[in-house]
Structure 1
């Protein structure tokens, strides 16, 4: 039987019986039912599995459980407010039609959320740099950039 590990996910302490070398993504999806992070490449290259760990975007397909036992993990499910209100980045993605197939969407939103925490008014160039390792197979990049700009404006008190 694998050891029981305690993980802090979306503000809650969760116990899971899993091997310490197991990728975080599998535990999130298979054991904890948090399916917003997607399995894309399995090599940390596409960004579909991105989560936030201690305020930084991370590829959960290559992060091992042993590396996150004492850290704060936020998944796409954890961005929504307790009352069901979407995070401004999530809402902007909907408003700007910044998704087609939706496979990259959670990873893009997580990367954008970290960007806006660090740079509340990013330029289009800063947005492109922050997302340069997140792949959108549908080519929805112009709408994604527009959504991030809209979210930044709203988070800065504009266009409520």
Structure 2
């Protein structure tokens, strides 16, 4: 099972995304460890969360070079964010789009994901977050999103979701 790093800037929902993803994986029957690394997050600094999922997990920290998936919440260049923001009516929901994409790729059951979101997210945001999650989980035709993991740009990757 995957080692996932979620990275972004304080206030972008990195810690929330890690908590929700960890609980979705636990509710799907896996052992999970979550570790958060806060820089100057309260001042817009970097935040990183490690989510390790497996049959049995011993360490919450992912060693350098051992991540399977990187979710970069700060780099949302490859998603039609304007459409998602318009539908969810809240820019703070972008992390849920990325989380929906990861959950579809890891084949977590949609209903399990939604039930977990309902338990983990504040009531004021549940409806908006579910709309955003659905946009990541399903493609425009309503099928489970099976697209590519990474969106190459230039010489490297400037992506929101990268399969390492």
| Higher RCO (C-alpha under 8 Å, 6+ residues apart) | 2
Greater strand proportion = 2
Normalised by the length of structure 2, the TM-score is 0.41
Normalised by the length of structure 1, the TM-score is 0.41
